[in-house]
Structure 1
Amino acid sequence: MRCPFCAHDDSQVKDSRPTEDNTAIRRRRQCEGCGARFTTFERIQLREVTVIKSGANGEPRREPFDRLKIEQSVALATRKRGVAQERLDRLVSGIQRQVETAGESEIEAARIGEMVMDGLRQLDSVAYIRFASVYRDFSEAKDFEEFASAVNDVGAESSHDKKS
């Protein structure tokens, strides 16, 4: 494993343990060149999946599925919301598992976006609205109002259902 500090090609594993949700192995490494320590994560990848995105000129663009992009989007949506990192990791791992076990080698970016929205809806309503505002490209305040109103209506219905 290449050292992120000095780019030396060899490092030694000092400690390995599973993550809390058992979806990855966390390895503590030490560079044999500069002695710096760093952490890596090893995850299972069931298959190579290509994401189909809509390009600027209407032509579809294809790129490899990247878990990190989902992690960053979810982290941005939940920033300062007090959602436990473990819950975010479970959400992202669940989406990755859905994508990889769908049996398809290609998936539309919009389908992944809907999976993220579904997960955030259950996790935190403010994060859900934040993500939706970017994902659905809200351009005016009324777009927020209409969407937030729909979220409130769904929340009121589900809390009413719980009381019944």
Structure 2
Amino acid sequence: MTVYEDVIAAVEQTETWTPWSRFSDVATEAPTTPGVYMFRSEGKIIYVGVAGPRDGNGTKDPKGLFGRSTIYRGGRVSGFGQALFDAALADREFLQGRLAELDSGQPRRAVDWVRTAYEHYDPDVRWAVLNTKDHTLRIVEQIVGMLREYDLLNREAVRYRATR
């Protein structure tokens, strides 16, 4: 077993996770309860996030994991969407496809580029439903800490690797 596989085995033990599924297949099936979610691409976990409840000045009730997946499906550049788009902008193959669209006279909006980044990386997702905000935040912090040396796209992990 590699060191990365040992870390993944430890992540598996942190909570009771749903099976990995293609994000495009299950995004509309996510529960409206709060929890933690993970994305992976090409077999590597690339993002860990929190989904509601949140503090803030929003007037709508939090929609938990379903609400978070709705934001990402819509192509908003927020959280995982921003991280994935940042990775896509550093990906020559992705950029060549967008330049080909431009050269053919079919420029697209930024939101379409973000949606195309999801298609390009075709991530899998899984989640764990959790009851309290403190527990949720603690689990995310623990997992990001375990994976920050690897390909995680979370800002904290990117900053950590940049300072090493």
If the TM-score is normalised by the length of the shorter chain, which range does it land in? 0.3 to 0.5
TM-score computed with the length of structure 1 as normaliser:
0.33
Q: From the two aligned structures, give the one with the greater helix fraction.
A: 2
Q: From the two aligned structures, give the one with the greater strand fraction.
A: 1
TM-score computed with the length of structure 2 as normaliser:
0.33
Q: Which has the higher contact order (CA 8 A, sep 6+)?
A: 2
Larger radius of gyration: 1
